[in-house]
Amino acid sequence: MPDPQSRVLDLIFGRWRSQILHAGVRLGIFDALREGPRTAAAIAAELGLDPSLAYRLLRALGSLELLHEDQARSFSLTETGELLRRDHPQTLRGVTLLEEGPEHYALWKHLPAMVRDGKQNAFIREFGRMAFDHAAQEPGYAEVFHDAMSSYCSAQTAWVLEALQGYDFSSIAHICDVGGGHGHLLSSLLARHPHLRGTVLELPQVIEDQELLWANRLGVGDRCTYLAGDMFAAVPPADAYMMKMILHDWNDEECVRILGNIARAAARGARLFVIEHLVPGPETPHFAKLFDIHMMCWGTGRERTVEEYRALLERAGWKYVRTWFPRSQMMGAVEGARA
């Protein structure tokens, strides 16, 4: 364990690391190295960078163990650095560009003021509008945001499938993923359970580009339908529903509206899985406790405990059943049944 002073200094300088990482991704360094080792001069020439300053950035990325540098100033990707290539199947490139990009970076300076005056949502303070409204007006931000969601989805899907690997889906024929994006999670679940058919409910602009949709790419296009709609208005009938990282975007009253709409469409006994980063007890450090501060900055939502999701379910006509976790406990699936 580091001494307390070193620990605090490490926290203070943490943003240096993430901004160095962001610069490397933004400049295309990880993609330039996908074919193997190259010199700093060759990378700089391809990407149109200053050779001297590029070398210093590459050296810093090496210090973060994202690149390996040899004695000839030649660099190659480490296993960790591979995850930042655009074409890596588990790429985290999009997450990097969103979370360390100019919009989200700008939000954090408002954190002390929000905590003082009890009013969250730094997007309103910085840009004068909600994040989703900002995305509708700024195509560049919208593209980065959707790339980030896609970038993160493979890890999330793996956690959810592991959490639900012991679940008995035999009584379920049709499952609807509410706000399911391009359908990575639902399509992966359908691939694992061949008797299931599914529906992804999403906003029209999210699913209009057919090339981004996962159902055909994962071989379940004959069992997966994409439906344009709005979860605040209505959802289709189904035997079961999923929502992954949806409710954390919204405050309690907004969540009850969404859950209530699903309850009205669901038959008695229908199942619902609320999939989120769940906040554990005070004795456990956890990513969800940090993500909660990001949500304080980003909008009206929050990360919640299992008990808090249970209360929301019960307010909207659902009965809490149990919570399913993967080994890492990174995410959880809170199961409810239509009361």
**What positions carry a catalytic annotation?**
248
Sign of CA dihedral 56, 21, 19, 98: positive
Report strand pairing: 224-228 vs 271-276.
unpaired
Cα 105 to Cα 6, 22, 121, 122, 329, distances in angstroms: 25, 11, 14, 11, 28
Helix (H) or strand (E) holding 338: strand 332-338
183 touches 244 (CB < 8 A): no
Residue with tokens 């919208």: 142
Please report, as a single letter, which amino acid is at residue 134. H
Dist CA 118 CA 102 (whole Å): 25
* Residues β-bridged to residue 178: 201
Dist CA 339 CA 335 (whole Å): 12
Please report, as a single letter, which amino acid is at residue 185. L
Report strand pairing: 67-69 vs 197-202.
unpaired
SS3 content of the chain, % helix, strand, coil (to 5): 50, 15, 35
Sign of CA dihedral 248, 106, 144, 92: negative
Contacts of 235 (CB under 8 A, 6+ apart): 176, 178, 201, 229, 241, 261, 262, 265
Dist CA 156 CA 82 (whole Å): 19
